[in-house]
Structure 1
Amino acid sequence: MGKIIAIANQKGGVGKTTTSVNLAASLGVLEKKVLLIDADPQANASSGLGIDVDSVEIGTYQILEHSNIPEDAIVTSSSPNVDIIPAHIDLVAIEIELVDKENREYMLKQALESIKDKYDYILIDCAPSLGLLTLNALTAADSVVIPIQCEYFALEGLGKLLNTIKSVQKIHNPNLDIEGLLLTMYDSRLRLSNQVVEEVQKHFNDMVFKTIIQRNVKLSEAPSFGESIIAFDATSKGATNYLSLAEEIIKKNSN
């Protein structure tokens, strides 16, 4: 039975897509079968795994519309053991189109029923908003990873996201868990980075992943080559961090 993990935070630029792509690649390298679903109209997770976004004809939009089944949209990525359902800019329209549909929050959940058992992990890269797209992801997911940037406004908006998760648990998905809070863009030289880490660990102790994703030039270069950090530079700090995160998640889910 595959575990569905949404990677969500309504703040942009916190490392959601970086985490989605590189966690998927790391789980794949550790011999888990992974499906990455790009649920962000910017489609950065798709291009980050080498997909030509302009040529996508069947993707997340068609799956949410139920005009195609997920099997039609799955593409094999260049990353070992990683498949992807890519996104296209047309995904922007989905929020408006689903508004009048019955059970609109459950479109993704229903679509994934047929393929859930084919993967060890299904990761959903969410859009930086708390709209219908993210709501569909949270309703379909078993758990959520929340990336938090080690910067001044890190905790701003976190309360809002946690409240959204609570209301999704109450109304749509009582089984939704928090997989963990992931500290990203950490720079050990900055006092502020260290303060944010302390603050988050103090407030949320066990909910915080032990792995911290450090700032790493290679991490920001990899997507422009359409590669995960594992393919781009397996010896880099970024690769080590994401492999460590993947191991932490596998260990947590095998108990």
Structure 2
Amino acid sequence: MDAPIIELTDVKKSFGPVSVLKGVSLKVYPGKITALVGDNGAGKSTLIKGLAGVQPYDEGEVKFQGVPVALHNPREAAHLGIEVVYQDLALCDNLDIVQNMFLGREDIELGTFDEGKMERAASETLQSLSVRTVKSVRQKVSSLSGGQRQTVAIARSVLKSAKVVILDEPTAALGVAQTEQVLALVKRLAERGVGVLMISHNLVDVFQVADYINVLYLGQMVASVETSRTTSDDVVGYITGSKTYIEVSA
């Protein structure tokens, strides 16, 4: 097995007297999809915000490609190649696909936006991910379906040469066909060698694409298993706290 691209060891986070993460360890591997599941309030959002540099951990060690790092802000995380696609996608409806993909980091030529260069780069990125559901990169985001919006948000992270992409509920509120399109895109993302961390409540989606499943329960990692070595019933048991954890994989 390849070495993990991200390794968290005993990370903790508290908000005042409330301990949200109670010594959590997690590994994300390049070219693999790692699912993070757990009930509401388990600590999933706090865990990924720490990785994104939004809410730094109070204690514990974070290693990126085997080297200890400190993530004090989102800029430091992005510099390493950690990108987060949040559930709200953070897209601007009044802008087109190209403008959204380059928002805040536009290519400048002679004091103005190099629209041609950005359009080519956006098209090439979508093509590299085998995206065929978007007719034109000049479509306004307001005209896109939920699945197409998720595609644009994921492609934006790839455009930044991401090494790790964190997906927060990527199939939430999507129909069956759109869900299949997004899950296929997630698989292609991993095939490019990107480490994918997918947060999801949908165990059907998780078992369809994930290589590893990690379960948070009340701020503690209670299971970290290979998908092929567990069952949906087992995972539900871990999520609800009704099943005792037995370590299946390192």
Q: TM-score range by the shorter chain?
A: 0.3 to 0.5
Q: More strand per residue: 1 or 2?
A: 2
TM-score using structure 2 length: 0.39
Query: Which protein has the bigger helix share?
Result: 1
The two structures have a TM-score, normalised by structure 1, of 0.38
Q: Which has the larger radius of gyration?
A: 2
